[in-house]
């Protein structure tokens, strides 16, 4: 199953939801698709959806799917790759009224360079990027949290005055 999520903020992402519908109609996507559509007003025709999911339902969808197609939100990307899901991420753009700025573009470039996701910068590329997602072995996500905590702890320990 493919889980499509566009976040829960006040911004629509109709372009992505519509393009998913088109790829299903064209036979490019043949898997079951479920979407969390957020504030978008586009109504999917060829896949199941719900505007908003509570935390538990969202976690269930992530667990059930093999692939996540999402906006460029850090939380869903990190949460998905930590669970070993293949992620295809599309940034929201301010010029389409999808966000206030283009910060998701910079974020996706970083994840893309690490090869932990497949990034799709323009929706015209979505078909090819979806095929790439299906065919490519991505790098596993490695958290540096433990190293950061250890480094902070060492710093604190070395600066404690007795």
Residue 107 sits in a domain whose CATH number is: 3.40.50.2000
Place of tokens 């090869």: 115
Q: Which of 40, 45, 47, 55 is nearest to 3 (CA)?
A: 47
Q: How many domains does the chain have?
A: 1
Query: What are the pLDDT digits (tens) for 90-115?
Result: 998 777 666 666 667 788 888 888 89
Three-class DSSP category at 35:
strand
The CA-atom distances, in angstroms, between 88 and each of 53, 150, 151, 153, 161 are 20, 32, 33, 36, 49
Q: State pTM to two decimals.
A: 0.84
The CA-atom distances, in angstroms, between 137 and each of 1, 82, 129 are 18, 15, 13
Q: Which of 109, 105, 124, 112 is nearest to 81 (CA)?
A: 112
Phi/psi for 118 (5° steps) reads -110, 125
Work out whether the CA dihedral 59, 60, 61, 64 comes out positive or negative. positive
Three-class DSSP category at 51:
coil
Residue 148 has a pLDDT of 54
What range defines the domain where residue 68 resides?
2-159
Tens digits of pLDDT across the chain (162 residues): 999 999 888 888 999 999 999 999 999 999 999 999 999 999 999 999 999 999 999 999 999 999 999 998 888 999 999 999 999 999 987 776 666 666 677 888 888 888 999 999 999 999 999 999 999 999 887 766 555 566 666 666 676 655
What lies within 8 Å, CB to CB, of 17 at 6+ separation is 4, 6, 35, 37, 40, 42, 44, 49
Three-class DSSP category at 37:
coil
């Amino acid at each position: 199953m493919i889980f499509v999520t566009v976040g829960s903020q006040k911004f629509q992402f109709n372009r992505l939801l519509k393009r998913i519908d088109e790829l299903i109609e064209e036979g490019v996507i043949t898997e079951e698709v479920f979407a969390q559509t957020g504030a978008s007003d586009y109504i999917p025709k060829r896949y199941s959806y719900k505007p908003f999911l509570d935390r538990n339902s969202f976690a269930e969808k992530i667990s059930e799917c093999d692939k996540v197609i999402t906006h460029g939100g850090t939380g869903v990307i990190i949460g998905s790759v930590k669970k070993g899901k293949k992620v295809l991420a599309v940034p929201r753009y301010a010029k389409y009224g999808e966000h206030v700025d283009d910060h998701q573009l910079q974020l996706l470039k970083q994840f893309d360079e690490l090869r932990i996701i497949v990034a799709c910068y323009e929706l015209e590329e979505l078909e090819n990027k979806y095929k790439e997602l299906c065919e490519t072995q991505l790098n596993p996500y490695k958290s540096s949290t433990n190293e950061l905590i250890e480094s902070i702890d060492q710093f604190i320990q070395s600066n404690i005055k007795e």
